[in-house]
Structure 1
Amino acid sequence: MPNAPAPRRTVAAWSLWDFGSNAFNTVILSFVFSVYVTGTVAADPETGQQFYANAQTIAGVLVALVAPLMGAWADRVRNRRLLLTVSTLAVVVTMAAMWFVRPEHIYLVLGVTLIALASVIAEVAGVFYNGMLHQISTPTTVGRISGTAWALGYVGGVIALVIALFGLILNGGMLGVPTEDATNARAVALLCAGWFLLFSLPIMVWGPTEVPEEARVHEPFRPLATYKEIGKRIARMWRSERSLLHFLLAAAVYRDGLSSIFSFAGVIAASSYGMDTVDVAIFGIAANVVAAGGTWVFGRLDDRVGPRPIIVGTLTAMIVFGLVIIAFDPTAVFWVFGLAIASLVGAVQSASRTLLTRIVPPQDVNETFGLYATAGRAVSFLSPFLIGVFTALGGARMGMLGIVVTLALGLAVFLPLKVAVRR
């Protein structure tokens, strides 16, 4: 990693990309537009959920196949900012195209396809984006920079969600956008596209460009040959970088549990505690706010104690808090300990990103982040499967045990890992 920090303008531009990109994750994927497509565009919710699940499954397979390939390509490119710019603009255009998804059944395929396509491109853009962390940080600032950006992502998602809900959706919306033909719901897509574009402009202008020669792969990029090289890289990790392979596997398991926390929190809140749409939205906003604060604090702690203690400590705390929610019924318990869990999710994600940044060879940064994304997709079935099993056995609130077990499995795999990070 560089010994001299990047200019503050560059770091700020990099962080603002996270601020803008989370509008897609929070508003399009989690709370608003996906609900519109599956609940309003579809003939019935069951059909909508089935089509949406199938599209997201295909998207997951594509990410698993494409992410390491795109990462290997990025490791060969001198100007990686251009790759991030092109992929970001592709996400923006795809989100803007969601405006054409009208509230008629024949538009269901278009709606789920556009969301899935944007998911794939956003994942690829994330590979390019995470790879830049190695360029702009030093061993003493990587935790702070990563944590601040991740916290800003939560803040950006919250602000975009508030504007979407109260400006366009709830009670007709304060912005006065017509509700006929679901114009207000479709306008959410334009809002998110504009939001992402606006806050991505700084990194397109001031983001890092020149990659040092020693941090680049100089072999030509041939897709089929590259897949073979990726296979050899995994074999090499098994032989001589086993701690890196160990981390990729452990992180894949517990990150699946982390993703389920936000994916299923609203469902559990509604089914187990009787929260309505407004209550769930308020809980979602509060969860993102405390997640931003927790990530910011732990990002600074990362530079002092290293990422490993943060990963172990926060995962342990989340497991305990989850068991408390399962054991006690009152809604107040869910609010208190649910928000406590939310405050730690981003801390684990950010610390995982910094740990990988600290230990990966510089010429393999993007390819490794591609493998990081692929590994996560490879076990993305685990937590939803366990949630379904425990829900069937003990009811909706017991579904929380599926998340707790996934986090515990990830922690158990992670604990034996001995890795020397660059500090």
Structure 2
Amino acid sequence: MSKTGDIFRKDVIGWSLYDFANTIFSMNILSLYFKRWVVEDLGRDGLYYDIAYSGSMLLVGLIMPALGALSDHSHKKKLFLFLFTITCCISIGLVALIPAPLFIPVIFMFAFSNFFYEGGMVFYNSLLYSVSGGNEARLVSGFGVAFGYTGSIVGMILVLPWVTGGIFGLDIPGLAGSGKTGAFFPTAVLFFVFAMPLFLWVDEKKARIKPERIKFKRAYREVWEGIRETKKYPGVLRFLIADYFFEDAIATVILNMGIFSSLVLGFSDADLTIFLIVSTVSAMLGSFVIGNISQIVALKKLMIYIVWGWIVVLLLFIVVSNIFFIYIIGSIIGILLGGIWTVSRPLLAEMVPKDELGRFFGLYSLSGRAAAVVGPVLWGIIVFLFNPNRPLGNGLASMLNLDAPRASQMPYKLAVISLIIMMAAGLFIFRKIPSGSENRT
């Protein structure tokens, strides 16, 4: 293994560039264009998107642990990752070619692409220890997350001309903007191109498990055994449960930041764009800094600090209205977002044997993906029930003597409080996991 200072090795760059690549998909498809296209351009209910997204995440949670076990036995994590990546790219690229009136095929193709996008992360995460080990894995994890947030900014800028025909007010000769659908095909191409270095430069390390063919039934049995065997590795089950609550809150923040910023904070489109850039740049820098800090501070202690940071920031979002301070909060959110993902991967990896990384990252995926199904739905239920135009919301607004503007903001602030409760519950569970890496073999 190379020294920790030799972080700019080709295999590390290749692994990190995959994070760069897949966040191009995340930013352009999940955050910016697809749902807005469905609602604003096609005039469809956003519920179609929510159901498609949640359904694909549920499917990931059900299937990926078994595929993680399969990848451990077959020693073909790179092959699985390649197949998932190219299928995702082809699926979202095809969306641009399907006529808009064929809406059901469009929404199914979106769900299909999101399944393969999210599912590939199991294999990607488990390849971390093919390019690093020990304390260096913490730094490499942060390096990858920093690349990822760089990719979200670069991808947004590179795709913008296909949407608007220009970039930052400057027209590009010979390129006519195609609207939101113009983002789909170039996003697919950029995802695939920037993912290729991983497949070319990373050599998958062979675990001590003897390669063998494995049936799906056996794989699911191994997943169940993996859940039972968490008892052998102190703290793993607690970590997975706590991570569920953390991911629940974070996934909901990511999916609803736009609507919250618009309806509660009063952001214009320009304000929201600046806010996202500030948050993303902060996440990029923060993940790299926290990756370095994680080499001298215990991972458990660092995670606790990060979660407390989330709780404080979410509280501030409820009470702060000054736009300058909101931008500062946005930068802190970016740091915390990059930090929690930088720390969580190596923390889990230090708690389980190297030979079973695929299985336990599958369980890790199950925890996170289940949260991505439940969290957004819970947010939606709270906003629905406490809408001031409905009896429960109207009654609470009257009891609190809120004027119309504050009453309209109330359901969203209550939804944020639910996220604070999730974070606090996760922290209560997490605090009892053991420190150190005594489970590694």
- Report the TM-score, using the length of structure 2 for normalisation: 0.86
1:327 corresponds to which residue? 319
- In the TM superposition, residue 388 of structure 1 has moved relative to its aligned partner by 4.2
Distance in 1 separating the partners of 2:277 and 2:210: 43
Residue 35 of structure 1 is matched in structure 2 by 36
Helix, strand or coil at the partner of 1:274: coil
Supply the distance in 1 between the matched residues of 2:276 and 2:103 (Cα, whole angstroms): 26
Quickly say closer, same or farther: Cα 1:210–1:308, change in 2 above 3 A: closer
CA displacement at 1:100 relative to structure 2: 1.2
- Which residue of 2 is the match for residue 95 of structure 1? 92
Q: 1:134 to 1:210 in 2, by over 3 A?
A: closer
| Structure 1 vs Structure 2 CA RMSD | 2.3
On the 8 A contact 1:68/1:367 being kept in 2, the answer is yes
Structure 2 contact 226–359 (Cα < 8 Å) conserved: no
Match for residue 86 of structure 1 among 79, 83, 87: 83
Residue 168 (structure 1) aligned with residue 162 (structure 2): yes
- Taking the TM superposition and a 5 Å limit, the aligned residue runs for 1:220-299 are 220-238=213-231, 240-299=232-291
Which residue in 2 is equivalent to 1:400?
416
**What's the counterpart of residue 144 of structure 1?**
139
Partner of 1:178: 176
Question: Is this contact kept in 2: 1:78–1:211, CA < 8 A?
Answer: yes
* 77-86 or 317-326, larger mean C-alpha shift: 77-86
CA gap 1:403/1:345 in 2 versus in 1, 3 angstroms: same
* In 1, Cα distance between equivalents of 2:197 and 2:2: 24
Runs (4+) of structure 1 exceeding 6 A deviation are 2-7
The amino acid across from 1:12 in the alignment is I
Moved more, 135-144 or 381-390: 381-390
Query: Which residue of the other structure, out of 145, 150, 154, is the alignment partner of 1:155?
Result: 150
Percent identity over the alignment? 24
**Relative to 1, partners in 2 of residues 1:379 and 1:201: Cα closer, same or farther, differing over 3 Å?**
closer
Return the offset for 1:389. Answer: 5.9
Question: 1: distance between equivalents of 2:241 and 2:320?
Answer: 33
Report how far residue 151 of structure 1 moved. Answer: 1.0
CA distance 1:218–1:163, shift in 2 (3 Å): closer
Q: Indicate the residue corresponding to 2:396 in structure 1.
A: none
1:382–1:406 contact (8 Å) kept in structure 2 = no
Which amino acid in the other structure matches residue 23 of structure 1? I
Q: What residue number does 2:12 align with?
A: 11
Q: Report the residue type matching 2:118 in the other structure.
A: E
C-alpha contact (below 8 Å) 1:386/1:403 kept by paired residues: no
Task: Count how many residue pairs are aligned between Structure 1 and Structure 2.
Answer: 409
- Residue equivalent to 1:415: 431
Give the superposition deviation at 1:321. Answer: 1.9
Q: Does structure 1 conserve the Cα–Cα contact (< 8 Å) formed by 2:247 and 2:371?
A: no
Tell me, yes or no, if the aligned pair for 1:64 and 1:373 is still in contact at 8 Å: yes
Q: What is the identity, as a one-letter code, of the residue corresponding to 2:257?
A: A
Task: Kindly indicate whether residue 353 of structure 2 is the aligned counterpart of residue 361 of structure 1.
Answer: yes
> What SS is found at the alignment partner of 2:214?
coil
Deviations 1:79-104 (A, max 9, x none): 432222222111221121122144x3
Instruction: Give the distance between the partners of 1:274 and 1:146, measured in 2 at CA.
Output: 36
Conservation of the 8 A alpha-carbon contact between 1:68 and 1:369: yes
How far 1:172 sits from its partner (Å)? 6.4
Q: Secondary structure at the match of 2:432?
A: coil
**Aligned with 1:32: secondary structure?**
helix
Q: Report the Cα offset of residue 386 of structure 1.
A: 4.9
**3-state SS in 1 of match to 2:372:** coil
Q: TM-score, normalised by structure 1?
A: 0.90
Structure number with higher helix proportion: 1
Q: Secondary structure at the match of 1:359?
A: coil
Alignment partner, residue 401 of structure 2:
none
Q: Is the CA contact 2:61–2:370 (under 8 Å) kept in the aligned structure 1?
A: yes
Three-state SS of the structure 1 residue aligned to 2:52 is helix
Deviation track 1:301-327 (CA, whole Å, cap 9, x = no partner) reads 112213212211011012112212212
